[in-house]
Structure 1
Amino acid sequence: MAALALMVFVLVLFAGSRWIPGRLVPAAVTDGPAMATGEAAAQGAGASRVYRLNGARLFALTAGVAAGLWIWSPGVLLRPYRHWGELLLAANVFAFTLAGLLFRTGRRRVPAASRPSGRWRGLGDYFYGVERNPVWAGVDLKFFSYRPSLIGLFVFNVSAAAVQYTGQGSLSGRMLLYQIFFFVYLANYFQFEGGMVHTWDLIAERFGWMLVWGDYVLVPFFYGVCGRTLIHLREPLPLWLGAVCCALFVFGFWLFRGANDQKHRFKTGDAVTIWGRPAKTLGGRLLVSGFWGIGRKLNYTGELLVYLSWTLLCGTASLLPYLLPLFLLVMFVHRAHRDDRRCRVKYGRLWEEYCRRARFRMFPFVY
């Protein structure tokens, strides 16, 4: 039953992504090394692909259904929480199966000469993927997979709130703040979904088990661990802690969204001014204004603070919620190093000059 529910959920979102109207935006065109001929022929040049930005409508429809169920049939909202383990198992089977299908179809479409070589090439093709942007039925699977990932996380969060509400008759201050923080975070993602077109994941990463498992298992099932922890936490939220969490969320969100917005406007040619001043660049290729003139990955810092803000709502009831920001810290540091290596190859001496201008990666005066 859990497997059927999961498949229906993903297929409904897939159909919505295919057919619900939305603004079309072209894929980003990179100025880095050209894609191997075989891979380019298999999946099309970047400029020829377009993305339909209808994720906000899918999220709004899901939120509307959840609101209706909360009013008329709240018992339905308890099911994701109650069947969490079964859904987790089904999601793992789905992720491993989808990665296998991508492995097989990718190897048929992309010649061996166009794929990374090495002794463990087969395992690497499964783990990292073969194609960068596989398209099924007119839908870019990598771009689409953020939707069941984040909308699935929203469903689990609402289910946690429903469990507390039906069991205790109200939502605690901790749970209420957590739900508000997360809703704003998710709604903002879909509001600015077009910014994903210019991210490293969408442009350069191949789509294999690593990203598939992250989208369909890691994010929806483990990023909401705070919500599950808060269900049975009865300790009142101290005013000082609530204020600290709100300040962390607002500052982190401003840093995260502000840095990403500046980069997106620069990539699309709209960054005429940043913070009221003309935007400055290095060679017209690297932005050195605003947040990007201070640090090279302050968007990671902001997102980390956002996650820390709702983790602190759990207090000291359990150490489990704190594993998420710790995991994100390790992941962001690793990704910052990977991005640094890639940019050194791509931009050469220009990147060295940029690093002298923006001396910090994530934490000013620390890292």
Structure 2
Amino acid sequence: MPGALYYLPFGKVAEGKVGHGGTCIKYSMNGLHALVVTVLLVAGLWHHGSFQGAAISSRVPQLVTASTAVALVLSIAVYLRSFTVLPQQLVNYGTKGNFLQEFALGREMDPSVGKVDLKQFMMVRIGFIGWTLVDISYLLAEIETKGWPTVPLLMVVTFHLVYILDFLIDEDTVLPTKEYTEDGIGFLMILGEYIWIPFYSSMPIYFLLHRPTQISPLSAVLICLMFAFGFVTYYMSNEQKSEFRKNPNNPSLAHLETIASPSGKKLLVSGWFGWVRHPNYLGDIMMTLAWCLPCGFTSFLPYLPALQCTNLLRLRAAEIEEACRKRHREAWQEYCRRVPYQLVPYVY
């Protein structure tokens, strides 16, 4: 069904990077429409008694095992397919014949089947829409058992849906990212979209479903404020970066201070990026921590997504900084002098 929904006649068509044929790769930006159709279908089936949330929540180990098997089969298929394409369609790792590296990270950069771009399909249709379905299934299982969800569980589901909807509304903002422009699609990426995003990200809800907690109204308000601040930081900094990347001479950005780079581009040194060098990552970390906090402190398990997110973004920030150091040279050194903190002001 996710593949069929890719062909929905809704949403815009966005252009990504220039492909091997010299033309821009086009992507269907109808992930939000596909999500709405999928959720309405699940809601209808649940209302008529044809689906129960417990069918998912009680079979998580089996579903994870099955999803891992599917991811492995797809990874093998994508790997074998990569031997049928032109050399310029492959990722250059600098070392040839390294099977483990090429299988894990992927050989082909932009595989597609018909109109369906496999990288976008895995990330959006399987990853984020799958995450939504798992969350909703847990929520329905809670309603089936208790008649109404607890406040902590409802908070986490709401936080997740806000995050997912924002991603799908601005789906085209991921097209310039390294994952789309440089990386291949291999076992690790496919496994992440089938397992990591839908099941691992929903771990706090799964925890609350089996070990419900209660939080005070004050705690709930403070956690909501933390999520809201993280979301605003994440959203506004991404919007500022996206607008500046599209048109550095945009009049709405004229008040922002910049540093000229030897690469011919400019670096923002004020606004959100004058606060910390990766404000979007800071916002992401704050949101992830906020949707773990309603679980309380009786176990470290629901905090694993926040720890993983923090470490992943820390490593990604270091990778980006190394690339920027080579590309912008002394301009990047000046930027780091002006904005000394990577992720957390006055801390890191």
The question of a shared fold, defined as TM-score above 0.5 by the shorter chain, is answered with yes
Matched, 1:80 2:69: no
Is the contact made by 1:69 and 1:77 (CA closer than 8 Å) also made in structure 2? no
> What's the counterpart of residue 4 of structure 1?
none
> What's the counterpart of residue 104 of structure 2?
127
Residues in 2 aligned to 1:14 and 1:125: alpha-carbon distance in whole angstroms: 26
Deviations 1:284-321 (A, max 9, x none): 43233321122221111111110111100000232201
> What's the counterpart of residue 76 of structure 2?
100
Q: 1:100 to 1:285 in 2, by over 3 A?
A: farther
Is the contact made by 1:295 and 1:361 (CA closer than 8 Å) also made in structure 2? yes
Q: 1:315 to 1:93 in 2, by over 3 A?
A: same
> What's the counterpart of residue 251 of structure 2?
272
Is the contact made by 1:106 and 1:130 (CA closer than 8 Å) also made in structure 2? yes
Aligned length: 341
SS of equivalent to 1:198: coil
Residues in 1 aligned to 2:328 and 2:78: alpha-carbon distance in whole angstroms: 32
Residues in 2 aligned to 1:140 and 1:345: alpha-carbon distance in whole angstroms: 31
SS of equivalent to 1:295: coil
Residues in 2 aligned to 1:180 and 1:199: alpha-carbon distance in whole angstroms: 27
Q: Which of 325, 329, 334 matches 1:353?
A: 334
Q: Counterpart amino acid of 2:62?
A: E
Runs of 5+ unmatched residues, structure 1: 1-11, 30-39
Matched, 1:322 2:303: yes
Q: Which of 167, 172, 182 matches 2:145?
A: 167
Deviation at 1:117, TM superposition (A): 3.3
Deviation at 1:110, TM superposition (A): 4.2
Deviations 1:178-224 (A, max 9, x none): 12111111111111111111222212222112211111111111110
Tell me the TM-score normalized by structure 1: 0.86
Deviation at 1:153, TM superposition (A): 0.9
> What's the counterpart of residue 142 of structure 1?
119
Q: 1:86 to 1:57 in 2, by over 3 A?
A: same
- Once the two structures are aligned, what percentage of the paired residues are identical? 26
Deviations 1:132-159 (A, max 9, x none): 2222212221122122111111111111
Tell me the TM-score normalized by structure 2: 0.91
Q: Which of 162, 166, 182 matches 1:184?
A: 162
> What's the counterpart of residue 187 of structure 2?
209
Residues in 1 aligned to 2:24 and 2:31: alpha-carbon distance in whole angstroms: 21
- Range that drifts further, 246-255 or 91-100: 91-100
Q: Counterpart amino acid of 1:305?
A: M
Q: RMSD over aligned Cα, in angstroms?
A: 2.2
Runs of 5+ unmatched residues, structure 2: none
SS of equivalent to 1:25: strand
1:48-87 alignment, distance < 5 Å: 48-73=24-49, 75-87=51-63
Residues in 1 aligned to 2:266 and 2:77: alpha-carbon distance in whole angstroms: 37
> What's the counterpart of residue 12 of structure 2?
23
Q: 1:114 to 1:254 in 2, by over 3 A?
A: closer
Deviations 1:28-85 (A, max 9, x none): 46xxxxxxxxxx63xx44x521111100101111222233344332743322222222
